[in-house]
Structure 1
Amino acid sequence: MTGIDTNAPTCVAIVGGGPSCTYVLDRLAATVAARERPPALEVHVYDRSGNFGAGQVHSPGQPETSFLNRIVGQVAFAADESVLGAGPLLDPADRPTLLEWCRARFEQTGDPVFDLKAEDWPKRYVHGLALRDQFERYVGLLRSVPGVSVHLHPAEVVDLAEREAGRLAVITSRGGEPVVADHVLMLTGHSSNDPRHYPLQAAWSDFARRNGVGFIPSAYPLETSIEESAATPEQVVGCVGMGLTAIDVILHLTEGRGGVFERQPDGSTVYRPSGREPASIVVFSRSGLFTFARPFNAKEKNPQELEHTGVFLTEPAIDRLRVSAGRPVRIGQREQYQLDFRRHVLPLIVLEMAQLYYTTLFGAEFGSHLRARALPGWEEFLADGGAERSAEESTDRLLAPVEAAVDQAVGYVDGVLTGAVPPRTELPWDRERLLRRYLAVVFGRARGAELAGLLDDPLALASALASEVSPWRHPTRAADNRFSWQRTLEPVPRGSYATGEEYRDAVLDFLDLDHRWAAQDNLWNPAKAAADGVWRDLRDVLAHAVDFGGLHAASHRDFLDVFMRHHNRLCNGAALEVMEKVRAAIRHGLVDVSVGPDATLSGDEESGRFLVTGPATGVTRRLDLLVDSRVHPFNARNDVLPLYPSMLRKGLVRIWSNPGQGEPDFTPGGLDLTEDFHPVREDGTVDRRLTLLGPPSEGVMFFQLGALRPNQNHHVMQDILCWINEFWHSQDRGRDDDPGREPSVLLTAGHG
């Protein structure tokens, strides 16, 4: 970042006025107020939707059917005491969390939509209302400081242009005299790509144009992309993808059309149609499954202590693997030792999941026993990097001592529960503690305690268990409660169905099971604990393995294509309330899942409609409207908006590429950025006038977008601190010759 003219205000342009901009304004408001002499500062915020604070995705005006994919207790809008190097904080009254904001709004309005507990899932528009409110609060705080001005531009930025003294002109679609900025912070958020640049979407778009059928290449914003006239009651709508976007589409076309989901006395949910829905909503994907329901988050009561920290999957373990098995490659100015995700990281993930699964099932003491049994093999794996073994072989070797210990535990538990083994058998862990934990997990804490009271009476225990049913559908026998990575990925096994009706029934049965497991929560349900604890709580470790070319090119492609899908399905699903509505819509017959996995989509020239076929079920469906309900990955070349393609043409930025060694390079589509988020230009120089946070960094970095969390030292805030730390230092360097300048506000920050 350049120095400043001390006689003129420093001009900062922020492109994108959504949630990240709200967090940035918190840091600007707090740090500006803390300086001894207020700086001369102009802040210009641009947002093409005009929804300042919320942006388009979290717009307060979006359909009320969409839910935020985060419980209300896990959303913040400002830095708090947990954020390392945050610097000065705003007064607590000026930085409420979403939970505090909702409670205050409920007291003011009495509107039940704001009457939320920490573990509740808010409507997405409610989050948008709070974001807008906080944005306006921070803007007001900034404007109250002498010498500071904030200007809001409801306009699309289409280009940046060089100006004198190394400044950048911000050019909008509205024309007029551009603002000339010293620093430009890009917070552009989610993007959409031009379907003409993707073979499949281009073919779908061409077929739709020639035959007069509907094709929507990007589902958002729902309120304008899928209007009522686009999907009439006579039409069949097809959704490519079964993730969160598809679920939003389903709710938009059901509840959003006046249908009602009613809770029955037995706890089930039924759908009452309005008659305005499409004739059918056919959903299909590679897996044929929706994302799994997010569990009730029991960790929220004390996340610092209850969120999982890695035993085997740790950053030091990844670093040791780079030494023993990493393949050296130079990427720009950086030397990286690349790993293969399947061979080196996946075995640790599966081991970590197994250890956490059995710790949840049998208790912490047994988990410590497993750790001790697995450590020698884990040390060997880190030392030799798996040698020449396949991923399956390495995983089996790592799991072997765990499974041997579990064999012993399973034999003991099942023996005691059937009366074949005396409870007092000598074992290397506390017998009664393990049995009590197992019974509590399988039958519930209250009933488990009652059953544990029968441990000294084997006949009475066996008799009680003969008629006992787990409320979460856990089998009674421990042998039937084993961890399986394959079953985790494929809970509806291929070969267990032959027709579309059989597949539909199997999906509904799994959704029932998944609902029960999610209701048990992420501390007591073994499967949910393993998925949530590894794929969500250890996300930073995954980033440590992947970021900045941490995987070789082919493996990086494999990670994004295969394992990001696993990540999203296992731990990034929707709330129980939402998935209950999906189940009800399937049971009603409106949502059709019968196509099954590995569906193929084509254009049927004879009928002029899209045709989707399920090879595993034999089901064929014709579609009048096709919605691509997958989130588009960031791709600077193919962005449907002009800004990033223009910056590429001018050489202001360049695409990042993971160089292949004996294999093709992998180019995910994101930009080549430094670790402090500055772009590398086409000529290889770093442009410190520009900072890009969020999706433009995805590809070179992993999972860079998310709602800010309270009490978390969250990576999104650390990324913002990285920018603001450098910004204030640049201001102070520009005043080095000014004897009256104030001391700098020191902000030490990482970069997430």
Structure 2
Amino acid sequence: MRSNRLAIVGAGPSCTYVLDRLAATAQAATTPLSLDIHIFDRAGQFGAGQVHSSEQPVTSFLNRIVGQVAFAADESVVGAGPLLPKEDRPTLLDWCRARFEETGDPVFDLAAEDWPKRYVHGLALADQFRRYVRMLRQVPGVEVHLHHREVTDLQERSDGSLAVIAGDGEHVLDADHVLMLTGHSSNDPARYPRQAAWARFTERHQAAFVPSAYPLEDAFEPGQASPGSTVGCVGMGLTGIDVILHLTEGRGGVFEERPDGTLSYRASGQEPDSIVMFSRAGLFTFARPYNAKERDPERLEHRGVFLVEDAVHRLRRSAGRPVTIGGAEQRQLDFRDHVFPVIVLEMACLYYSTLLGADFGRCLEAAARPEYEAFLADGGRGAPSDDSVRRLLAPVEACVDEAAQTLDAVLAGTLALAAAKEREWDAEAALRRFLDVVFGPEQAAGLVARIDDPALFAAGIAAAESPWRHPKSVGAQWFSWERSVRPIDRGSFSTPGEYRAAMLDFLDLDHRWAAQDNLSNPAKAAADGVWRDLRGVLAAAVDFGGLHAASHRDFLDVFMRHHNRLCNGAALEVMEKIRALIQHGLVDVSAGPEAEVELDASSGRFVVRGGVTGAELPVDILVDSRVHPFDAENDVLPIYPNLLRRGLVRKWRNPGVGEPDFAPGGLDLTEDFHPVRADGEVDRRLTLLGPPSEGVMFFQLGALRPNQNHHVMQDILCWMREFWGQDGTAADTVGERITTGV
């Protein structure tokens, strides 16, 4: 019996998760197996992949707390099938605790809410990968081969298999199934006008251009970004933050704690003179809040009240524009006009429920429900987004206005609490919650003790200080979407120095809010609860052409930036370092919003010019410090351009109706992740998970989470069921057990 040959291209985290499922199900098979697994990784970083390599700079942090990372399916995963014994599927937290006991190395001494170094995650991934490979090799009839080689092409063979071609053109093997897990790559700068112009400029002048920051350890040539030079970073997100820490702490600089708990920076002398950070918004991603939900995610993660999948379906019926995509009819929405108003409503209600308590939140829901139902039924009547937002918020704001008048009078001592209780909502409960949020439980308890004496209570409020810089009145804490995404008032600065001061003030405020946590701080609760916890609803609105072409472009260009800034930021520890580096003067944020890069031929340098602040900042080395979106046609590696050329895959297009089509760059994939070929046929020999689905699907990457029935594992199971079903050696046992969850 010929072995069923599986080729896995890319050996990063997703490959590790796949091997967990293959090991568990292969061990459970009750009929003979004949499976030949070949795993290819161009960097040779088996288990971790290049992005999570254990060899990367120690200054880079994983963007998730240690308690939220797993490597294997667990009891929460619906339809997972056989699970490995618990000792063979530790979470990252379990793995770190065991490693700390073995080594005593403090880098592994982590609590569930701590942020691990990214290389630590890489070490754990590689360890789990090796464990799963050993298990598979112990199963009779299963072979596993590891290839430290780049796969550059796939070719069709006459027997229906796919020839796997390595970087030197060698035909390595013929595979019955190919699973592409290539992860993040980068794009050829020569194919993008702005980046191409920057690259051409450096060919004629002394300035340097780094088109992609990753892998960070190889981003700069020896002698680059050295003392006497200025580095400019296009992008202030997580990649830009990685670059900053690599060029400062990674060069021997030290962060020291001041008596007040903040950090200062002591330079090593090996850093560049300045690191200029700039972007369209002029903002870093916001600090991730302390995750108070981690103690009981099932109970504490936010469940949508208004932003639910049923609302998306109803809006499609009332306002969706019919279009045919891939032979099927879809009713497309406008994200800004149809979905966004509901997002703002959900955020506002969660914000005020956090500020004034669950009972008040229920009153808000009741008040908002009639207009919300009408909006779903009429699809907004063609009104622009701003009008629909005002329409949905009007009942909420009327309730909050009444609460503010009542509670602020009590806080000021002009209204006794007994008189305030004559409301539809529990005024005392709302007041107590407000005091807890603004002052913290200890101060709040002291204030509540004075609550029956209006004058004494008001004096206590006047004397108290909020550790989180919250205003001491309800009326001063109005929810505003605009303020959520643009927290630095455009009217508060006009010069580089004023913007720097405003940025430092915001970083202080954001740090305090993040430290308060995602259940107690209204702004962090609203951002985290909607844009993170309800990400599945956003996917239901966006996936497979759920938005019309122009709106889809708008979603990726505008709203994904908001998503990343609001809920996908860096750890508190990291952002405190960034603040210290700005205060030190090494990191320069004075360009502010709307900054642009200009080419100065006279000096041979780039110049970053602030569109609002008027800053003019010469730069020697320009770094594109953003994660490149997947673009199959323009990928810097050859595999996807070659697959396109052969017609094995095609790019997905959102068809425009009276407008241009929109092609985000990702591939045309079915819901079970098989590519649609150039001839329109689905190729079930080939499965692609992760970045290649960007565009046709929303937010497909992410580390596996424990106890979450996580979407990453569900995507893998989708492939697994079909793979075992097509493998005639075990179709009657393994495939059935995965499908039934036994």
The alignment's TM-score, normalised by the length of structure 2, stands at 0.99
Superposition deviation, residue 735 in structure 1? 7.5
Q: Does structure 2 retain, via aligned residues, the 8 Å contact 1:232–1:277? A: yes
> Following TM superposition, by how much is the alpha carbon of 1:745 offset from its aligned partner in structure 2, in angstroms?
3.1
Tell me, what secondary structure is at the counterpart of 1:230? coil
The answer as to 2:401 corresponding to 1:410 is no
Helix, strand or coil at the partner of 1:745? helix
More displaced 10-residue stretch of structure 1: 205-214 or 94-103? 205-214
Check if 1:270 corresponds to 2:264. yes
Corresponding position of 2:677: 681
- Does residue 163 (structure 1) correspond to residue 163 (structure 2)? The answer is no
Partner of residue 434, structure 1: 430
For 1:744 and 1:292, the matched residues in 2 are separated by: 44
Q: Deviations over 1:349-397 (max 9, x none)?
A: 0000000000000000000110000000000000000012111111101
Paired amino acid for 2:437: V
Cα displacement string for residues 220-247 of structure 1 (whole angstroms, at most 9, x for unaligned residues): 0111112451211010000000000000
> Which residue of the other structure, out of 59, 74, 79, is the alignment partner of 2:73?
79
List gaps (5 residues or longer) in structure 2: none
- What is the one-letter code of the residue matched to 1:550? G
Q: Equivalent residue for 2:727?
A: 731
Within 5 A, what are the aligned runs for 1:118-129?
118-129=112-123
Residue type matched to 1:552 in 2?
H
The more displaced of 419-428 and 362-371 is: 419-428
- With over 3 angstroms needed to count, the CA separation of the structure-2 counterparts of 1:455 and 1:256, relative to structure 1, is same
- Partners of 1:699 and 1:189 in 2: how far apart? 15
Return the letter of the residue paired with 1:528: K
Gaps of 5+ in 1: 1-6
Q: Give the whole-Å Cα distance in 2 for the aligned partners of 1:669 and 1:735.
A: 37
2: CA distance between counterparts of 1:495 and 1:227?
41
Deviation at 1:742?
5.1
* Shift in Å, 1:309: 0.7
Report the CA distance shift for 1:185/1:423 in structure 2 as closer, same or farther (over 3 A).
same
Equivalent residue, structure 2, for 1:515: 511
> How many equivalent pairs are there?
739
Indicate yes or no: 2:211 matched with 1:217. yes
Does 1:722 pair with 2:711? Answer: no
What is the SS of the residue equivalent to 2:651? Answer: coil
Say whether residues 1:388 and 2:382 are aligned partners: yes
Is 2:462 the counterpart of 1:471?
A: no
| CA drift at 1:421 | 1.4
CA distance in 2, matches of 1:125, 1:227: 22
Match of 2:225 among 231, 235, 245: 231
Give the drift of 1:747: 2.2
Aligned to 2:87: 93
Find the aligned partners of 1:480 and 1:269 in 2 and give their Cα distance. Answer: 30
* Counterpart secondary structure, 1:205: helix
**Paired position in structure 2 for 1:456:** 452
Which residue number in structure 2 is paired with residue 480 of structure 1?
476
Matched, 1:712 2:711: no
Give, in whole Å, the separation in 2 of the partners of 1:749 and 1:346.
Answer: 38
What does 1:359-378 align with in structure 2 at a 5 Å threshold? 359-378=353-372
Shift of residue 118 of structure 1? 0.3
Q: Does 1:357 align with 2:351?
A: yes
| CA displacement, residues 71-112 of structure 1 (integer Å, 9 cap, x when unaligned) | 000000000000000000000000000000000000000000
Q: Which moved more, 1:424-433 or 1:663-672?
A: 424-433
Q: Find 2:28's aligned residue among 26, 34, 39.
A: 34
The correspondence of residues 549-560 of structure 1 with structure 2, limited to 5 A, is: 549-560=545-556
Q: How far off is 1:270 after superposition?
A: 0.2
Query: Shift in Å at residue 746 of structure 1?
Result: 3.2
Q: Which residue pairs with 1:627 in the alignment?
A: 623
CA contact 1:349–1:534 (8 Å) conserved in 2: yes
SS in 2 for 1:337: strand
Match of 2:582 in 1: 586
Tell me, yes or no, if the aligned pair for 1:38 and 1:145 is still in contact at 8 Å: no
How far apart, CA to CA, are the structure 1 residues paired with 2:739 and 2:322?
A: 31
SS at match of 1:166: coil
Q: Distance in 1 between matches of 2:374 and 2:594?
A: 38
Determine helix, strand or coil for the equivalent of 1:551: coil
CA distance in 2, matches of 1:707, 1:38: 33
Counterparts of 2:197 and 2:633, CA distance in 1: 19
Correspondence for 2:613: 617
Match of 2:594 in 1: 598
Work out whether residues 232 and 276 of structure 2, in 8 Å CA contact, stay in contact via their aligned partners in 1: yes
Paired AA for residue 700 in structure 1:
V
Contact 1:155–1:174 (Cα < 8 Å) also in 2: no
Distance 2:737 2:370 in 1: 45
After superposing the two structures, state which structure 1 stretch, 475-484 or 17-26, moved more. Answer: 475-484
1:3 counterpart residue number: none
| 1:529-562, Cα deviation, whole Å (9 max, x unpaired) | 0000000000000000000000000000000000
Structure 2 distance, partners of 1:749, 1:251, is 48
Helix, strand or coil: the match of 1:369?
helix
Identity %: 68
Partner of 2:199: 205
2:393 & 2:343 partners in 1: Cα distance? 11
Write the letter of the residue equivalent to 1:189.
G
CA contact (8 A) 2:82 2:737 kept: no
Q: 1:617 to 1:171 in 2, by over 3 A?
A: same
Q: Secondary structure in 2 aligned to 1:405?
A: helix
Give the drift of 1:482. 1.1
The Cα RMSD (Å) is 1.1
Cα deviation for residue 218 of structure 1 reads 0.3
Deviation at 1:710, TM superposition (A): 0.2
Structure-1-length-normalised TM-score: 0.97
Is the CA contact (8 Å cut-off) linking 1:601 and 1:613 kept in structure 2?
A: yes
Report the counterpart of residue 643 of structure 1 in structure 2: 639
Amino acid of the structure 1 residue aligned with 2:265: Y
Other-structure match for 2:739:
748
CA distance in 2, matches of 1:186, 1:172: 14
Deviation string, structure 1 residues 459-485 (Cα, Å, up to 9, x no partner): 111111112110000010111111111
Verify the 8 A CA contact 1:721 1:749 in the aligned structure 2. no
Whether the 8 Å CA contact 1:35–1:745 is kept in 2: the answer is: no
